[in-house]
């Protein structure tokens, strides 16, 4: 997957054509169906930052909707430099701050093993609010100008390929082989695992009889972790 210039990406007006063009620009293996409100939020993000002084070149080098293979963990926007990682999550409307904090904490978990300085933000398109996750302070209110300054600071260099930084084995811990990490809760369930867990809990809460479940998946997908 290739990085793109977000300005040029958001110039695509036709929602029905966006997925095809985005796949072409990013060299994504398969086209991903774009949702209208997500595209509008991304346009608002670019427009807001340009009004604050960012130039077209400052939007170079972003990975849009990057997903870690096998795990299914997705980031809205990522940018890598030689010593930093910038992550920006974009919301079309106001979201509970607990959910914002949870997502940015989870993002930190998936990025921190790369051993680079992390800068994690959330941008709310309809209110123009900006939040930042700080490892020491937690979730803090930031500003458009702060976010612009960080993007400007990192605008000159970026990586063409980041897939080498992500291996499923770095995240899918096993209660059997790494019990200390499991007991210390040094993990997150993937979205798929969370979905299965919720479905099972709904069934267990509804019935008083015995229930049987079958969890199927290839090796290394986290079946044992989900079971425990």
Q: In what order do the strands lie in the sheet with 117-124?
A: 63-68, 73-80, 84-91, 117-124, 129-134, 138-141
Q: Which of 15-24, 49-58, 92-101, 120-129 has the lowest mean pLDDT?
A: 15-24
Residue 110: both structure tokens together: 């998936």
Residue 77 has pLDDT above 80, yes or no: yes
The better pLDDT of the pair 125, 174 is held by 125
pLDDT given at position 149: 95
Residue 86 has pLDDT above 90, yes or no: yes
The DSSP H or E segment spanning 107 is helix 97-111
The better pLDDT of the pair 173, 81 is held by 81
User: Environment class of residue 135 by beta-carbon count within 10 Å: exposed (0-12), middle (13-18) or buried (19+)?
Assistant: exposed
pLDDT given at position 24: 84
- Residue range 140-156: average pLDDT? 93
Residue 217 has pLDDT above 90, yes or no: no
The better pLDDT of the pair 159, 55 is held by 55
pLDDT given at position 192: 82
Residue 189 has pLDDT above 90, yes or no: no
Please give the model's pTM, rounded to 2 decimal places.
0.83
Residue 53 has pLDDT above 80, yes or no: yes
The DSSP H or E segment spanning 121 is strand 117-124
pLDDT given at position 16: 78
- Residue range 180-199: average pLDDT? 84
User: Environment class of residue 169 by beta-carbon count within 10 Å: exposed (0-12), middle (13-18) or buried (19+)?
Assistant: exposed
pLDDT given at position 111: 93
3-state secondary structure at position 30: coil
Q: How confident is the model at residue 33 (pLDDT cuts 50, 70, 90)?
A: confident
Going by C-alpha positions, the residue among 149, 82, 64, 139 that lies closest to residue 108 is 139
Q: How confident is the model at residue 47 (pLDDT cuts 50, 70, 90)?
A: very high
Q: How confident is the model at residue 127 (pLDDT cuts 50, 70, 90)?
A: very high
């Amino acid at each position: 997957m290739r990085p793109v210039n977000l300005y040029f990406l958001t110039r695509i007006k036709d929602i029905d054509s966006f997925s095809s063009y985005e796949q072409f620009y990013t060299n994504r293996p398969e086209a991903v169906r774009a949702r209208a409100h997500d595209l509008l939020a991304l346009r608002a993000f670019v427009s807001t930052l340009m009004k604050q002084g960012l130039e077209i070149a400052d939007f170079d080098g972003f990975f849009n909707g990057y997903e870690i293979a096998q795990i299914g963990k997705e980031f809205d926007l990522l940018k890598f430099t030689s010593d930093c990682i910038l992550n920006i999550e974009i919301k079309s409307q106001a979201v509970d701050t607990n959910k914002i904090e949870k997502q940015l904490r989870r993002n930190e978990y998936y990025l921190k093993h790369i051993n680079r300085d992390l800068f994690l933000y959330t941008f709310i398109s309809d209110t123009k609010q900006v939040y930042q996750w700080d490892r020491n302070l937690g979730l803090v209110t930031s500003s458009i100008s702060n976010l612009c300054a960080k993007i400007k600071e990192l605008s000159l260099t970026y990586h063409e390929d980041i897939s080498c930084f992500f291996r499923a084995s770095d995240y899918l811990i096993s209660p059997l082989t790494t019990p200390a990490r499991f007991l210390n809760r040094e993990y997150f369930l993937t979205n798929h695992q969370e979905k299965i867990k919720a479905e099972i809990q709904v069934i267990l809460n509804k019935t008083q009889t015995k229930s049987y479940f079958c969890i199927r998946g290839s090796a290394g997908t986290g079946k044992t972790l989900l079971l425990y």
